[in-house]
């Protein structure tokens, strides 16, 4: 997500900020900016696009004199990537400058309150409310003011703040967004991540939630939310810059897999209020929802697989018929879109050429389109009639993991909402589903922590030639994604099959020792899938089964079993996919493949 850097010391600040921001580029961004105090006033520069543009604009920082400043790379969430939405943000008099990473969940309410009090906003961001709120509460005592706004702001934040009437200090505070402080010989720094400070210091302190750091040229103090001074330890960083960018993980893919609990929470939490699903941004009335006669889900790759999953949920739960199409097929099959159709386009990047073309085709036929997109301001996000963002943050590894998980959550919420409005989901049913939904992040974490066992198993399959994934219903959708993950990053041929379809051909490929991954999380289909497991096992297959806790009888028929925690039958994909991601990852690592950048693949496919 966004990156923050702050510096106060003996050096000119702007070049330090630009250098630090360049070390945070891996986090993804679409604009950048900085603010530096020059001894009289706070100057600022902002630029849409790459950091290079900001460097050129400021002559590598030379046009911004001063030795105290804050900088930011923005990955758009609220508002498109434009100069005016880029950070820093200011109060009206430009005496308070703020950079922010995170999401202010109650910004609409705060914005209204501040607007009523006469504050004017010049951006579409959630961050700007922080600048005006600081102004509103400012007593002349920055620490007291920062502590005060922490009680008013909900959501996640890491903030870097400069007050012009206290120019020898930078304030910083965090809640649920990362922030570190670096203690250097000729100045002190704040940053979203360690790589940004490593050039200047290896002495780093990790700020905890709701702690405030006060940095001056020659000292750093820490306070709790009550303004009491607290003691904090500094650590010496031993890693090199490359390892630091990946937060200590060997690959971005592993890091992103570990971000899934957070991604799921971020996509879900803002849309659940007082036991109800509120998807305000959809702007769809209950009447409009009731009028939906058919849903078409269109996407590519893994995003398509989330659509295959949600077909079962929209149909099973909301009883709305669903067709799922691969975008490159949809656009050329002269599709029939009748009145009452809703076309849902799912895309992480929001730029996939075929998905975009499918969206345009649907719009040309006059039906309502809804984009489920991760990148704010992307083409699909801009062109779809309705938009629902997944809050996965930028994904670096080509093989998607966390964006996939976020797409599933967005569709669960949508299907539940539609079912409720259509009178197919009672209040009790909804509460039960929400309870299970809220448990998913912890359950995902539990499965991730089991990685050692899966790594050992994966190491036995690095020389595999063919692997088959089988399942029925939602388990078939999970198999599609499990198979794609494996072939994408390990170059092992794999196929996903609807388990009942195996005997119509594919079963002839099963030989002694062929690995078959069988997914069996759907109770009503369990026995049927077990029969298919028996069919392949009697022909020599080695069966790895993924099933729900408690289904121990599967051990009679499978050679290796992975259990997933109990959840609602519609949510099992979110759990069952975790061991399959880990399996693919460790096979790829074991083979020495380029995990994050597999050959021939691109993260964003902008050609047909
Ligand atoms: C590429 C990526 C996949 C992704 C697909 C669709 O093939 O490697 O991970 O699922 O494109 O991308 P989108 O950005 O539209 O979700």
pTM (two decimals): 0.80
User: What is the DSSP annotation of 506-547?
Assistant: GGGG--TT-EEEEEE--GGGHHHHHHHHHHHHTTT-EEEEEE
Round the CA-based radius of gyration of the chain to a whole number and report it: 25
Question: What residue's CA is closest to ligand 1, atom 8?
Answer: 603
Q: How many residues does the chain have?
A: 608
Distance 208 CA to ligand 1 centre (A): 35
Ligand 1: residue of 603, 606, 607, 608 to mutate (most ligand atoms within 8 A of CB) is 603
Mean pLDDT of 434-448: 98
* pLDDT of res. 606: 67
Question: What residue's CA is closest to ligand 1, atom 15?
Answer: 347
> Which atom of ligand 1 approaches the CA of 355 most closely?
15
**pLDDT tens-digit profile of 16-43?**
999 999 988 887 789 999 999 999 999 9
Distance 298 CA to ligand 1 centre (A): 12
pLDDT band at 237 (very low <50, low <70, confident <90, very high): confident
> Which atom of ligand 1 approaches the CA of 403 most closely?
16
pLDDT higher at 248 or 499: 499
For the four alpha carbons of 304, 308, 310 and 314, in that order, the dihedral sign comes to positive
Distance 259 CA to ligand 1 centre (A): 18
* pLDDT of res. 195: 85
* pLDDT of res. 331: 86
> Which atom of ligand 1 approaches the CA of 304 most closely?
10
> Which atom of ligand 1 approaches the CA of 300 most closely?
6
Distance 348 CA to ligand 1 centre (A): 7
pLDDT band at 100 (very low <50, low <70, confident <90, very high): very high
**pLDDT tens-digit profile of 241-280?**
666 678 789 999 999 999 999 999 999 999 999 999 999 8
**pLDDT tens-digit profile of 405-415?**
999 999 999 99
Mean pLDDT of 304-331: 97
**pLDDT tens-digit profile of 38-80?**
999 999 999 999 899 999 999 999 999 999 999 999 988 889 9
Angle CA 134–271–577, to nearest 5:
120
Q: Rounded to an integer, what distance in angstroms lies between the CA atom of residue 258 and that of residue 608?
A: 32
Question: What residue's CA is closest to ligand 1, atom 2?
Answer: 603
Distance 303 CA to ligand 1 centre (A): 7
Question: What residue's CA is closest to ligand 1, atom 1?
Answer: 603
413 SS3 class: helix
* pLDDT of res. 302: 98
| Ligand 1 proximal residues by C-beta, below 6 Å | 300-303, 347-349, 352, 355, 398-400, 601, 603-605
> Which atom of ligand 1 approaches the CA of 299 most closely?
15
205, 174, 170, 244: which is closest to 16 by C-alpha? 170
* pLDDT of res. 394: 82
Q: How many CB atoms lie within 10 A of CB 116?
A: 8
> Which atom of ligand 1 approaches the CA of 602 most closely?
8
Q: Which residues, 6+ apart, have CB-to-CB distance to 453 below 8 Å?
A: none
Q: Rounded to an integer, what distance in angstroms lies between the CA atom of residue 46 and that of residue 99?
A: 12
pLDDT at 551 over 70: yes
Ligand 1: residue of 252, 257, 298, 303 to mutate (most ligand atoms within 8 A of CB) is 303
Ligand 1: residue of 252, 299, 300, 346 to mutate (most ligand atoms within 8 A of CB) is 300
Mean pLDDT of 97-101: 96
* pLDDT of res. 476: 98
The residues annotated with a catalytic role in the active site are 2, 603
pLDDT at 148 over 80: yes
Task: Give percent of the chain above pLDDT 70.
Answer: 98
User: What is the DSSP annotation of 274-309?
Assistant: TTEE--GGG---HHHHHT--EEEEEE-HHHHHHHHH
Distance 603 CA to ligand 1 centre (A): 6
* pLDDT of res. 94: 97
Distance 301 CA to ligand 1 centre (A): 5
> Which atom of ligand 1 approaches the CA of 352 most closely?
15
Ligand 1: residue of 257, 301, 480 to mutate (most ligand atoms within 8 A of CB) is 301
pLDDT at 111 over 70: yes
Ligand 1: residue of 306, 348, 356 to mutate (most ligand atoms within 8 A of CB) is 348
Distance 310 CA to ligand 1 centre (A): 17
Distance 347 CA to ligand 1 centre (A): 7
User: What is the DSSP annotation of 44-59?
Assistant: EEEEES-HHHHHHHTT
Question: What residue's CA is closest to ligand 1, atom 4?
Answer: 301
pLDDT band at 379 (very low <50, low <70, confident <90, very high): confident
463 SS3 class: coil
Distance 358 CA to ligand 1 centre (A): 15
Q: Which residues, 6+ apart, have CB-to-CB distance to 411 below 8 Å?
A: 306, 307, 309, 310, 313, 314, 344, 346, 372
């Amino acid at each position: 997500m966004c990156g923050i850097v702050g510096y106060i010391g003996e050096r000119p600040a702007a070049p330090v900020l630009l250098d630090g921001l360049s070390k945070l580029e891996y986090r993804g961004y679409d604009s950048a900016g900085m603010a530096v105090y020059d001894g009289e006033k706070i100057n600022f520069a902002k630029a849409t696009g790459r950091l290079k543009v900001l460097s050129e604009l400021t002559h590598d920082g030379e046009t911004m004199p001063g030795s105290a400043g804050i900088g930011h790379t923005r990955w758009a969430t609220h508002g498109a990537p434009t100069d005016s939405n880029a950070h820093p943000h200011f109060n009206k008099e430009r005496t308070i400058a703020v950079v922010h990473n995170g999401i202010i969940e109650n910004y609409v309410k705060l914005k209204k309150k501040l607007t009523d009090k006469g504050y004017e906003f010049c951006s579409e961001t959630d961050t700007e409310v922080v600048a005006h709120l600081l102004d509103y509460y400012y007593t002349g005592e920055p620490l007291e003011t920062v502590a005060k706004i922490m009680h008013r702001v909900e959501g996640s934040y890491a903030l870097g703040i400069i007050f012009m009437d206290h120019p020898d200090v930078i304030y910083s505070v965090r809640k649920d967004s990362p922030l570190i402080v670096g203690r250097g010989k000729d100045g002190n720094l704040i940053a979203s991540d360690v790589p940004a400070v490593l050039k200047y210091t290896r002495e780093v302190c990790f700020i905890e939630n709701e702690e405030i750091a006060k940095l001056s040229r020659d000292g750093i103090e820490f306070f709790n939310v009550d303004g009491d001074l607290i003691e904090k330890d500094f650590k010496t960083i031993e890693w090199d810059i490359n390892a630091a960018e990946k937060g200590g993980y060997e690959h971005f893919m592993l890091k992103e897999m570990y971000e899934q609990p957070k991604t799921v929470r971020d996509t879900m939490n803002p849309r659940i209020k007082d036991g109800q699903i509120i998807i305000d941004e959809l702007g769809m009335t209950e009447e409009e929802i009731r009028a939906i006669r058919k849903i078409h889900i269109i996407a590519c790759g893994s995003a398509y697989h989330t659509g295959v999953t949600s077909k079962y949920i929209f149909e099973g739960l909301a009883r709305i018929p669903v067709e799922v199409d691969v975008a490159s097929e949809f656009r050329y099959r002269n599709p029939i879109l009748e009145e009452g159709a809703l076309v849902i386009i799912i895309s992480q990047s929001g730029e996939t050429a075929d998905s975009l073309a499918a969206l345009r085709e649907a719009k040309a036929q006059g039906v309502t389109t809804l984009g489920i997109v991760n990148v704010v301001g992307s083409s699909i996000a801009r062109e779809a009639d309705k938009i629902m963002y997944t809050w996965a943050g930028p994904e670096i590894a080509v093989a998607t993991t966390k964006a996939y998980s976020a797409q599933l959550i967005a569709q669960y919420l949508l299907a539940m909402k539609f079912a409720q409005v259509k009178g197919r989901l009672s209040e009790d049913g909804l509460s039960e589903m929400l309870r299970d939904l809220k448990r998913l992040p912890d359950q995902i974490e539990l499965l991730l922590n089991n990685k050692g066992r899966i790594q050992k198993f994966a190491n036995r399959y690095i020389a595999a030639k063919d692997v088959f994934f089988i399942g029925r219903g939602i388990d078939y959708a999970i198999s599609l994604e499990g198979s794609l993950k494996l072939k994408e990053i390990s170059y092992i041929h794999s196929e996903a099959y609807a388990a009942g379809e195996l005997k119509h051909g594919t079963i002839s490929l099963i030989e002694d020792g062929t690995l078959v991954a069988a997914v069996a999380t759907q109770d009503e289909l369990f026995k049927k899938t077990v029969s298919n497991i028996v069919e392949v096992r009697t022909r020599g297959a080695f069966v790895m089964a993924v099933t729900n806790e408690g289904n121990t009888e599967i051990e009679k028929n499978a050679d290796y079993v992975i259990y997933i925690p109990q959840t609602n039958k519609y949510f099992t994909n979110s759990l069952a996919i975790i061991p399959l991601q880990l399996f693919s990852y460790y096979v790829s690592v074991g083979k020495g493949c380029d995990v994050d950048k597999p050959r021939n693949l691109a993260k964003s496919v902008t050609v047909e």
